Amino acid sequence: MHIIAHEPFTLIFSDTYNPFWKAFINGEELSSTTAYSIVNCFDISKTGEFTVIIRFTGQNYADTGLKVSLAAFISTIVLTIIPSNVLKKMILLLKKMKGRLRRYEKQ
């Protein structure tokens, strides 16, 4: 939101208080505090004309969790689709490569 302020002010954000709500002003991060024992507020000391961006930073954790879950789901599907005999051949190949690597290290 674009703001023109002639003096410091308190911005009240009428969503239930959560410490993950952050306000950003020119790259500076402001943490929220509680107002009226239930909503978020930001004490803004900047004056003049500027833009305030309010973000829920907790969404970053949700996005990361979604990516990890999606990767695990895709891995499970791929491993389920691969026939067991192909999987056994891949394991044997890896064991042979490991043995060759050990012999090479001994030299």
pTM summary value? 0.58
Task: Give residue-wise pLDDT tens across range 54-80.
Answer: 888 888 888 999 999 999 999 888 878
Number of H helices, E strands in the chain: 2, 7
Annotated domain spans of the chain: 2-57, 61-106
40 within 8 A of 15, measured Cβ to Cβ: yes
| Integer CA distances (angstroms), 6 to 3, 12, 61, in order | 10, 17, 37
Task: Give residue-wise pLDDT tens across range 33-55.
Answer: 888 888 889 988 888 889 998 88
What is the edge-to-edge ordering of all strands in the sheet holding 28-31? 2-5, 48-56, 21-25, 28-31
